Structure 1
Amino acid sequence: MVEGYSPRKEGKQMKRYYLAYGSNLNVTQMRFRCPTARVVGTAVIEDYELLFKGSKSGSYLTIEPKEGAKVPVAVWSVEEEDEAALDRYEGFPTFYYKKEMQIVVTGIKSKKERLRDAFVYIMHEDRPFGIPTWNYVQTCITGYNTFKFDQSLLMNAIRKSRKELGI
């Protein structure tokens, strides 16, 4: 699928699936930013790890390939307007780019597993490691608690940044 492409069917907008692993796990924040987005399930991105990277203005979560690592994600159904709002928030395409992937989604209510095409935002890999603000980490922790994800993945990402930065 083409980056940024929003498919349409018979003049109707089709929903796309978005994989959230950072601050967009925060349901309250997502309802504000993307009012028509709906959580449809959770999934795990295999062979990727969480990292805190960024710029002089701040450090944020991203994912990068790492064999054997796993990143839990919430899966959101988004409409075209939601995706446009996410593009703005994520600084697409300058700060983050989009990657399309197929992923097994476990439904929130049914717990049924389905293979879905989805997109995820990934920060450009040349960005330096950094230490996030406590406020950003708290926003992510709120999301991790909502979806019952293992918070140690966030703490490990902070430890890795500290190690890379010699702190």
Structure 2
Amino acid sequence: MKINWGTGIVLAFIAFISFILYFVFRMSTDDRANHDLVTEEYYKKELAYQEEIDASKTASEKGAIIKVEKSEKGITLFFPEQFDPKKITGKVSLYRPSNKHLDVDFPISLSKTHLLIPDNRLVDGRWDIIVKWNYEGSTFLHKEKLVY
């Protein structure tokens, strides 16, 4: 059987379209390629973004900078010493960009100026730390990326 150039072009198009369809089907059904949004309520969170900007600005204006250190015990958050630790309330969120099932929130309750997040909760890799805390009516925000 002899294949002329017209038949060859048609066969090449069919092969190319088959490959593209196979590739699309394979990627859409693969569990490793998760196509979820970064957060569950993305649009609601986007509307509250101005509050985050204001809280970060307030923290820098009042010198309420949090220092984050990692050690073999875990991650330690050092709050500013000029604030009374018993009056600090809020939440620490550990966000894992690669796996939303590892995300965890910790309430802030301090007796000293530091908070230890134990090592048994942390998996090696990148973590986004978000500390949103209140002190005497002022809201502060600290964001940091950490590779553990």
| TM-score of Structure 1 vs Structure 2, range by shorter chain | under 0.3
Which of structures 1 and 2 has the bigger CA Rg?
2
More helix by share: 2
More strand by share: 1
Q: Relative CO higher for 1 or 2, CA cutoff 8 Å, sep ≥ 6?
A: 1
TM-score by length of 2: 0.25
